[in-house]
Amino acid sequence: MKTSRWNRFDASSGLWIASNKRIYTYWFKFLQHAGNDPSTSREVDWSAYEGWGDPEVICDPDTKFDAWWKKNWKTLFGYKLDETKPMYSLSTPKPQPDGVRYSLLVYELKGKPLLNGQENTDEGKVGDYWEIAKRIAVLEYPRRRDKGKKDPSYKPEDWSFNIARKIIERELRKTHPSEFSKQKRTLQSHVGRYMRSAEHHLDNVCEGRFP
């Protein structure tokens, strides 16, 4: 596919999609979570997803997005320039994949067991925003570090979650405890916003909208 910042073009089919493939990945994953939500307050309107496939198959954790995408993207999301819109449009013309991705990460990590078998303290309990931030730092920093090795202009540490890395946390607690507390509160606030965004995305996908 040819790419621009927002649109992608597949030369073999002559079709465009309205955004990077990643945003559709997140749509699919949020839909899976909404369909598997144990809460009785949230229910997917599957009539809004005609053509996507059997809900039980979509919600099956073993269903892989790439296989589903290969089978369905042309019908559901592909369009030609002389057409007004695809069968399924995004709710905004310029979605921000990184923000949606962090919202998804925060949502998926909220109920995970604690890091390193920690006791369930007030600061480290399951679902705690600081605990989630530390998990994201563990998951994401290696990718950022590797990118920095390839691109000298890229700064892996210039990142809001950097303070949640164990080595950085330990050093700041020792040398600048007040600054650490301030940055920690700020990061917890960011994680809280991502969590609220995740809940908003879940509500939207239940109605057939994204993001």
Question: Residue 10: is its pLDDT beyond 50?
Answer: yes
Comparing C-alpha atoms, which of 169, 17, 145 is closest to residue 90? Answer: 17
Q: Kindly state whether residue 158 falls inside one of the protein's structural domains.
A: yes
Q: What is the mean pLDDT of residues 91-116?
A: 86
Within 13 Å of residue 11, how many CA atoms lie on the same side as its CB? 3
Residue 141 tokens read as 């920093």
Total domains present in the chain: 2
The better pLDDT of the pair 152, 117 is held by 152
95/211 Cα distance (integer angstroms): 7
Sheet holding 15-17, edge to edge: 2-3, 8-10, 15-17
The more confidently predicted of residues 81 and 146 is 146
Cα 80 from Cα 78, distance rounded (Å): 7
Q: Is 60 exceeded by the pLDDT of residue 124? A: no
Q: Helix (H, G, I), strand (E, B), or coil: what is residue 79?
A: strand
The whole-angstrom separation of Cα 194 and Cα 5 is 23
- Reduced to 3 states (helix: H, G, I; strand: E, B; else coil), residue 154 is coil
pLDDT of residue 9: 86
Q: Which of 95, 125, 148 is the last residue in one of the domains?
A: 95
- The DSSP call for residue 50 is T
Cα(59)–Cα(35) distance, integer angstroms: 6
Instruction: Please tell me the least confidently modeled range out of 11-20, 35-44, 59-68.
Output: 35-44
What tokens does 122 get?
């007030």
| Overall average pLDDT of the 154-158 stretch | 94
Domain closes at, from 95, 112, 138: 95
Whether residue 16 sits in one domain with residue 73: yes
Percent of the chain whose pLDDT exceeds 90: 77
For residue 9, give the 3-state DSSP assignment. Answer: strand
**Tokens 């303070």 map to which residue?**
163
Q: State yes or no: pLDDT of 77 exceeds 70.
A: yes
Q: Is the pLDDT of residue 134 over 70?
A: yes
Query: Could you tell me if 119 and 55 lie in one domain?
Result: no
My answer on whether 85 and 108 are in the same domain is no
Q: What is the pLDDT of residue 111?
A: 74
- Give the Cα separation of 104 and 100 in Å (integer): 6
Q: How does the average pLDDT of the chain come out, rounded? A: 89
Are 86 and 109 in the same domain? Answer: no
For the chain, the residue count is 211
Q: State the residue range of the domain holding 18.
A: 2-95
Q: Which helix (H) or strand (E) holds 2?
A: strand 2-3
Beta bridge partners of 3: 8
Report how far residue 128's alpha carbon sits from residue 117's, in angstroms, rounded to the nearest whole number.
Answer: 15
Instruction: Give yes or no: residues 79 and 155 share one domain.
Output: no
The residue ranking higher by pLDDT, 121 or 132, is: 132
Mean pLDDT to the nearest integer, 22-43: 90
Asked if the model's pLDDT at residue 157 lies above 90, the reply is yes
Q: Which of 69-83, 110-124, 195-209 has the highest mean pLDDT?
A: 195-209
> How many C-beta atoms surround the C-beta of residue 107 within 10 A?
20
Q: What percent of the chain is modeled with pLDDT above 70?
A: 88
Question: Same domain for 40 and 107?
Answer: no
pLDDT of 165 > 70? The answer is yes
